[in-house]
Amino acid sequence: MTALYILLILPVLIALILAKKIIELKKGKKLADAQVSGMEISKLPAPGTVKALSILPLIDYYTDNENLKTEPGVSYLVSADDTDILLDVGFNKKKEHPSPLLHNMKALGILPSDIDMIFISHPHLDHVGGMAEQKSKTFSLSQGPVSLPNLSVYSPVTLSASRWNPGPEAQVITEPKILKEGIVSIGVIPRYLFLMGHTLENSLAINVAGKGIVLIIGCGHQTIERIIERTLALFDEPIYGIIGGLHYPVNGGRIMIGPFNIQRIVGSDKPPWVSIRESDVKSAIAAIKKVSPKIVALSPHDSSDWCIDQFKQAFGDTYVDVNVGQKIVI
Ligand SMILES: [Zn+2]
Ligand SMILES: [Zn+2]
């Protein structure tokens, strides 16, 4: 009797939850779109430049080096002249200490004391160091003590102090902001995602002298179309590079539960039966081609091998792999 009851009630419950989520999605998407179109973005006065820039992936999904660890998360060491910026702090899915991030930093000869700035792109689990960190709205480099120097931490939302790296308080930045000569946060571009809800994400824009703007992106929930639009509104310089996550888990994903491609379901502002499609990848490629960057490097942490292949075909020699431990020198 109980089993029959559950069998009858379960589909009704699932349908009700789904209906609620779809209503929330519609409302949230409308609000996020209104926020985006209501934002007044003007050119940045004197953003400055840097002479040298390199991006060293410390955490991502692939590596060629068997001594390094990989996971479907992001942490990049962005070295702009003499400023070392840690963009995001990885996933640490297995809640380890030392975390894959600390392991890779040690293997690559990077000390926590070398970091001058931490830039959290957005507070999702694969960027703030785990599910517990996402839930408690904090960020952790590992699940054990890590001593950080007195540095600046920037985040698009309020983050409380982590028990593991308690020192630096995160400063919330939502507007476009020059963080240091030539180093800019392009400001949040809100998006409402199915299941993940209202998401605020920042990206870094580094103005490299004689070359142009290099965008370094976490998950890319803002959509690359809007990131490009924002960058063109902020700078007079051309877009020289696009590096990082753009969230196209199409025809495959990095987090599968049975047949369900979790990244595809949670990372879209459309219902799960529409979600992220091949046509979205094609329009992203078209939007990027319009600005003719000299370097395109797609993070494999939230895009599929199929998508990477599409990018390789579209961008040819301009395309660079994102591999943990492999420095991208601009
Ligand atoms: Zn991500
Ligand atoms: Zn995300």
DSSP codes of every residue in 104-130: HHHHTT--GGG--EEE-----HHHHTS
Q: How confident is the model at residue 1 (pLDDT cuts 50, 70, 90)?
A: low
Taken as a whole, the chain contains a residue count of: 330
Quote the CA–CA distance of 154 and 16 in Å, as a whole number.
39
Record the pTM: 0.94
Torsion, Cα 248 254 260 266, to 10 degrees, reads -50
Query: Ligand 1 centroid to 12 CA: how many Å?
Result: 33
Residues 216 and 95: their CA atoms lie apart, in Å, by 26
Ligand 2 centroid – CA 319 distance (Å):
23
CA gap 112, 23 in Å, rounded:
44
Give the span between the Cα atoms of 32 and 313, in whole angstroms.
33
The bound ligand whose nearest atom lies closest to the alpha carbon of 123 is 2
Q: How far apart are CA 22 and CA 5, in angstroms?
A: 26
Single out the residue of 119, 124, 149, 27 nearest to residue 72, CA to CA. Answer: 124
| Distance (Å) from CA 79 to ligand 2 centroid | 23
Residues 6+ apart with CB under 8 A from 94: none
Q: How confident is the model over 241-279, as pLDDT tens digits?
A: 999 999 999 998 898 888 888 888 888 888 878 888 999
Distance (Å, whole) CA 56 – CA 109:
12
Q: CB-based contacts of 12: which residues, under 8 Å, 6+ apart?
A: none
132-141 per-position pLDDT tens digit: 999 999 999 9
Calculate how far, in angstroms, residue 193's C-alpha sits from the geometric centre of ligand 2: 9
Ligand nearest to the CA of 221: 2
Read off the pLDDT of residues 164-212 as tens digits, 9 standing for 90 and up: 998 778 999 999 999 999 999 999 999 999 888 899 999 999 999 999 9
All domains of the chain in start order, with CATH: 46-329 (3.60.15.10)
Q: How far is the CA of 61 from the centre of ligand 1 (A)?
A: 11
